């Protein structure tokens, strides 16, 4: 979602902020802005559109100096236009602020401001917050720090903010509640950002702000306090784990293509040091101390959003199959508001690439409150979900920049297999059941590479169907979530309407859609083979176009299909990793052929940190 960058140091703040905003473009946005403070004067430039449009708006000779903040906005309150873009300022022009999140009580604050003669100029909740700061500053005669603190203590909602005040030419204040923010600690310079990508070029030393914390940064020091008690908090400096080249395209046309092609490597990273195939064992340090408690659980819930939810659905099948206990996967947005039976006998697993998705975060908070043990399967190291769960397993897929999640998904499915095997073994499961999966895990990176090597085979399919308006994806068992994921990938980046269904459900409604123009993708594996072949026949009989992704090689499927893509056959629990890749490729090629912005699809954000 929205991106924040702040800088205080001896470099040009404008250069650091603009470069940082470019690094944050992947998160999705519709407008951008910058504010700098020099000679006790705040300068603001903002515009609807891309960071390149912002650069074009900045006049030469402006925004000099070493203190500045910038923002990429993804509209929530108010349409994307110049006026609603951040930074926002109060009517006195003293304060300027960038904000991620939502101020829920902005209506009542706006009323209070209006009652005191202060009129807002924009439609945003963010402007209300900065106007409120200006109002408090004047009314209570407070200094900069107390103004921000007092204002935030009266705010209901979520925020990651960075604020400048004209009277404090060497101070930057950042605060967080519900929206991630981190500080970069350089030599004689400091950075603030909503993720580490704008910082890594300058320093690897970072501090994660925790919920309800406020950081005051001046030329030569920083101090973190909690907002409620105003006590100083000692923060640990942590190190960014990835390298700069991991957040660059590295010769690929798009981040999505790069990330699809990285999957043999990212899966080997997910497995590294965790599987001993000779002894048929799995080690997962992040859940080691909690294994017995997990095994004692009466039920397991898995909760996530979007693609991570599709991986969760596969995870629920894996865990239920290997552990023989009830496992339920549920959208985090439903789970968090529903009356669930979660209690101290429950384990709640949260799956998230970013580790910052608002609904998933709220779901684990609810689960913790209800006494459950929480376990995170997360990609971004140090993210909120990783920090707030009792235990967890990192995916180790490296930064995922493309908005459409690819390598995180296959990593998540791989991790579910590791967790399933480990728990099943500890439960005393028969080695015969586990050994084939361990052997396949060993071979998995190579098998993924073989599927990637035949990636261009989907290109003719993309060419044939790039002009259709609808697509249907059908699968059974483990391949049903794969069908959902294939359909999601297609719709989000190529804007073609696509539905994923369990193949047998077709008869209960979607079959009405089948005509000569309808392409139907079937994901076919050995399990349920005859049943899905019957579904293929039903589509053929109605003239639908048939695309088959399969681990089975036979003349029957060749005959029935308009296009067929073969992937290697592996254990059922792992098959989704291989069948998903051609579907990622298909979506990619369709989107490119249609001229869509693959890495930044319209209306989408990489990390959904608001509800």
CB of 312 to ligand F6R, least distance (A): 10
Q: Is 197 in the site for ligand F6R (CB under 6 A)?
A: no
Q: Quick one: which of 145, 175, 294, 305 contacts ligand F6R (CB under 6 A)?
A: 305
Write out the DSSP string of 79-105: -SSTTTSSPEE-TTS-EEEEEEEEETT
Residues 502-561 that bind ligand F6R (CB under 6 A): none
Q: Is 404 in the site for ligand F6R (CB under 6 A)?
A: yes
C-alpha–C-alpha distance, residues 143 and 137, integer Å: 7
C-alpha–C-alpha distance, residues 361 and 304, integer Å: 9
Residue with smaller CB distance to ligand F6R, 352 or 550: 352
Q: In which region does residue 36 sit, left (phi positive, over 0), alpha (psi from -120 to 50) or beta (all else)?
A: beta
C-alpha separations of 7 from 69, 178, 384, 493 in Å: 6, 22, 23, 33
Segment lying near ligand F6R (by CB under 6 A), choices 82-90, 219-227, 303-311, 367-375:
303-311
Q: How far is CA 249 from the centre of its chain?
A: 18
Measured N-to-C along each axis, helices 407-426 and 306-323 cross at an angle, to the nearest 10 degrees, of 20
Residue with smaller CB distance to ligand F6R, 8 or 305: 305
Residue with smaller CB distance to ligand F6R, 225 or 489: 489
CB of 404 to ligand F6R, least distance (A): 4
Write out the DSSP string of 249-279: -TT-S-HHHHHHHTHHHHHHHHHTTTEETTT
Q: Is the peptide bond before 87 cis (omega within 30 degrees of 0)?
A: yes
Q: Is 308 in the site for ligand F6R (CB under 6 A)?
A: yes
Q: Quick one: which of 31, 197, 405, 417 contacts ligand F6R (CB under 6 A)?
A: 405
Say whether 464 sits in a helix, a strand or coil: helix
Residue with smaller CB distance to ligand F6R, 385 or 532: 385
One of 50, 366, 545, 606 is an active-site residue; which one? Answer: 606
Q: Is 303 in the site for ligand F6R (CB under 6 A)?
A: no
CB of 365 to ligand F6R, least distance (A): 15
Q: Are 221 and 235 in contact (CB under 8 A)?
A: no
Q: Quick one: which of 307, 312, 389, 494 contacts ligand F6R (CB under 6 A)?
A: 307
Task: Build a one-symbol-per-residue string for 331-360: x at contacts with ligand F6R by CB under 6 A, - elsewhere.
Answer: ---------------------xxx--x--x
Q: Are 319 and 327 in contact (CB under 8 A)?
A: yes
C-alpha–C-alpha distance, residues 261 and 240, integer Å: 23
CB of 402 to ligand F6R, least distance (A): 8
Q: Is 306 in the site for ligand F6R (CB under 6 A)?
A: yes
Q: Quick one: which of 21, 173, 536, 608 contacts ligand F6R (CB under 6 A)?
A: 608
How many other C-beta atoms can be found within 10 angstroms of the C-beta atom of residue 2? 29
Segment lying near ligand F6R (by CB under 6 A), choices 123-131, 301-309, 500-508, 539-547:
301-309
C-alpha–C-alpha distance, residues 210 and 64, integer Å: 32
Residue with smaller CB distance to ligand F6R, 45 or 354: 354
- Specify the DSSP class assigned to residue 243: -
CB of 580 to ligand F6R, least distance (A): 12
Segment lying near ligand F6R (by CB under 6 A), choices 167-175, 197-205, 212-220, 300-308:
300-308
Residue with smaller CB distance to ligand F6R, 176 or 310: 310
C-alpha separations of 478 from 331, 360, 443, 550, 575 in Å: 18, 23, 20, 13, 8
Closest CB to ligand F6R belongs to which residue?
306
Segment lying near ligand F6R (by CB under 6 A), choices 236-244, 292-300, 305-313, 519-527:
305-313
Q: In degrees, to the nearest 5, what angle opens at C-alpha 190 toward C-alphas 188 and 194?
A: 165
C-alpha–C-alpha distance, residues 50 and 43, integer Å: 19
- Size of interface with ligand F6R, in residues (CB under 6 A): 15
CB of 74 to ligand F6R, least distance (A): 13
606 counts as catalytic: yes
Q: Are 197 and 182 in contact (CB under 8 A)?
A: no
Task: Give the pair of three-digit tokens for residue 431.
Answer: 């080695």
Write out the DSSP string of 368-395: HHTT-EEEEEESSTT-HHHHHSSEEEE-
Residues 368-397 that bind ligand F6R (CB under 6 A): none
One of 2, 165, 391, 596 is an active-site residue; which one? Answer: 2
Task: Give the pair of three-digit tokens for residue 401.
Answer: 């920049």
Q: Quick one: which of 25, 43, 90, 492 contacts ligand F6R (CB under 6 A)?
A: 492
- Give 3-state DSSP helix, strand, coil % of the chain, rounded to 5: 40, 25, 35
2 counts as catalytic: yes
Residue with smaller CB distance to ligand F6R, 346 or 353: 353
Q: Please list the active-site residues.
A: 2, 606
Which residues make up the interface to ligand F6R (CB under 6 A)? 305-308, 352-354, 357, 360, 404-405, 488, 492, 607-608
């Amino acid at each position: 979602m929205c991106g924040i960058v702040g800088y205080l140091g001896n470099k040009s703040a404008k250069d650091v902020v603009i470069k940082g905003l470019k690094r944050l473009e992947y998160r999705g946005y519709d407008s951008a802005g910058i504010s700098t403070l020099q000679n006790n004067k705040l300068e603001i430039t903002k515009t609807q559109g891309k960071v390149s449009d912002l650069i074009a708006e900045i006049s030469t000779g402006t925004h000099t100096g070493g203190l500045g903040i910038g923002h990429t906005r993804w509209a929530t309150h108010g349409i994307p236009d110049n006026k609603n873009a951040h930074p926002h300022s109060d009517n006195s022009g003293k304060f300027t602020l960038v904000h991620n999140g939502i101020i829920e009580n902005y209506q009542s604050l706006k009323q209070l401001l209006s009652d005191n003669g202060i009129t807002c100029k924009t439609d945003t909740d963010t402007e209300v917050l900065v106007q409120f700061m200006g109002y408090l500053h004047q009314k209570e005669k407070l200094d900069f720090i107390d103004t921000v603190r007092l204002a935030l203590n009266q705010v209901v909602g979520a925020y990651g903010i960075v604020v400048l005040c004209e009277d404090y030419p060497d101070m930057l204040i950042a605060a967080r509640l519900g929206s991630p923010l981190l500080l970069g600690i350089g030599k004689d310079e400091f950075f603030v950002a909503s993720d580490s990508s704008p910082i890594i070029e300058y320093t690897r030393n970072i501090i994660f702000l925790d919920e309800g914390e406020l950081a005051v940064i001046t030329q030569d020091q920083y101090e973190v306090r909690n907002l409620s008690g105003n006590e100083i908090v000692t923060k640990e400096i942590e190190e960014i784990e990835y390298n700069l080249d991991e957040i660059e395209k590295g010769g690929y046309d798009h981040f999505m293509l790069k990330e699809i092609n990285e999957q043999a490597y990212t899966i080997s990273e997910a497995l590294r040091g965790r599987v001993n195939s000779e002894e048929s064992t799995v080690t997962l340090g992040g859940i080691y101390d909690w294994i017995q408690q997990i095994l004692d659980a009466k039920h397991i819930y898995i909760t996530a959003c979007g693609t991570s939810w599709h991986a969760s659905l596969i995870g629920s099948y894996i865990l239920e199959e290997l552990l023989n206990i009830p496992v339920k996967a549920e959208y985090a947005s439903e789970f968090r508001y529903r009356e669930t039976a979660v209690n101290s006998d429950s384990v709640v697993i949260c799956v998230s690439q970013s580790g910052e998705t608002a609904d998933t975060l709220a779901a684990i908070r609810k689960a913790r409150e209800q006494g459950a043990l929480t376990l995170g399967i997360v990609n971004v190291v140090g993210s909120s979900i990783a920090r707030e769960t009792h235990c967890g397993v990192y995916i180790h897929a490296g930064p995922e920049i493309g908005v459409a999640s690819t390598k995180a998904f296959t990593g998540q499915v791989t991790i579910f297999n590791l967790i399933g095997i480990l728990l099943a073994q500890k439960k005393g499961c028969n080695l015969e059941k586990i050994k084939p999966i361990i052997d396949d895990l060993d071979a998995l990176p190579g098998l993924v590479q073989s599927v990637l090597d035949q990636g261009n085979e989907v290109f003719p399919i993309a060419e044939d169907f790039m002009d259709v308006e609808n697509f249907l994806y059908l699968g059974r068992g483990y391949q049903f979530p794969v069908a959902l994921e294939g359909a999601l990938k297609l719709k989000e980046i190529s804007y073609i309407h696509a539905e994923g269904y369990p193949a047998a459900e077709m008869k209960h409604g979607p079959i009405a859609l089948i005509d000569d123009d309808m392409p139907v993708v079937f994901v076919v594996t050995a399990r349920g083979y005859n049943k899905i072949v019957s579904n293929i026949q039903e589509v053929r009989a109605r003239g639908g176009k048939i695309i088959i992704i399969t681990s089975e090689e036979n003349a029957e499927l060749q005959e029935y299909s308009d296009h067929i893509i073969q992937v290697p056959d592996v254990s059922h629990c792992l098959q989704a990793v291989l069948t998903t890749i051609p579907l990622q490729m298909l979506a990619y090629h369709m989107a490119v052929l249609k001229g869509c912005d693959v890495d930044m699809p319209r209306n989408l954000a990489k990390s959904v940190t608001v509800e």
